[in-house]
Amino acid sequence: MTNNITYFIANWKMYGNSRSLKALNNIIKLSSIKKFNKVRIIYCPPYTLLNQFAKKFIKTNIMVGAQNCHYKTGYGAYTGYVSAKMIKDTGSKYIILGHSEARAEGDSDNKINIKIKAALKSNLKVIFCIGESLKEKRKHKTNMVLRRQIFSGLKNIKNLENILFAYEPVWSIGTGIIPEVEILKIQIMKIKKILKQKFKYKKNKVLYGGSVSPKNIKSLSKIHEIDGFLIGGASQNEKKFIDIIKKTIN
Ligand code: PGA
């Protein structure tokens, strides 16, 4: 891991209810320990829990984020949708955009670009997900796909300061399969190189996501280039999530 801030982002997907709040006390305790002061924990529960989570974490350094938003910035006649401005109003500071599950539901590269702009305009920090599918990987199209996702997603965005990047190979999400450490390291380096050379953004943060668990975190955290993790399944279990953080930092 780097010596900088290490991000641990909990993507709760469509899980969780009002009772979930009870199982957050140990993570709050952990976040206050000095040893973990370079750890940035961000919980991304469903919309229904954003405000409750934000209130629960109010006196802590744990942040809250949403998992998507509508592409229109403010208010409007869009039944069933939530805008970045409304998310900001819940006390959330972050938002996940471009997740493969949202792409599968119709978020195109272009739509993601507009959503990123809407989120930035509402002063949310963006966790921008990119990643190739198994079919694309088998056809050796990984680099092409990642470049396309990055260039389209960041079109006409000048300031990348409020964007974190998450490399999530689709074939790794929820499958228990992670990339080989050496290959992952190279992939993260390639993404960083694009951001540095093509976007002149040296301070880029690139996280890894896909089946991160207490079992594989030791090998993943050996990759110096990774700035943190986007964690789905394992983050819904407080014990496992804490275990992942401890194993990374120790
Ligand atoms: P997973 O999900 O950790 O359950 O694979 C990661 C994600 O979808 O962000």
User: In 3D, which of 141, 228, 205, 137 has the Cα closest to residue 175?
Assistant: 137
| Chain centroid, CA 70 distance in Å | 18
pLDDT higher than threshold 70 for residue 3: no
Q: pLDDT of 94-135, one tens digit each?
A: 999 999 999 999 999 999 999 999 999 999 999 999 999 999
Residue 174 Cβ contacting ligand 1 at under 6 Å? yes
Residue 209 Cβ contacting ligand 1 at under 6 Å? yes
Average pLDDT of the chain? 97
Instruction: Write down the pLDDT at residue 4.
Output: 84
Q: pLDDT of 198-211, one tens digit each?
A: 999 999 999 999 99
Residue 230 Cβ contacting ligand 1 at under 6 Å? yes
Q: Is the entire prediction scored with pTM above 0.95?
A: yes
User: In 3D, which of 62, 53, 16, 42 has the Cα closest to residue 207?
Assistant: 42
**Is 101 part of the annotated catalytic residue set?**
no
**Which is the closest atom of ligand 1 to the Cα of 101?**
8
Mean pLDDT of 163-182: 98
Q: pLDDT of 69-82, one tens digit each?
A: 999 999 999 999 99
**Which is the closest atom of ligand 1 to the Cα of 11?**
9
Ligand 1, pocket-test mutation among 178, 212, 220, 236, most atoms within 8 A of CB: 212
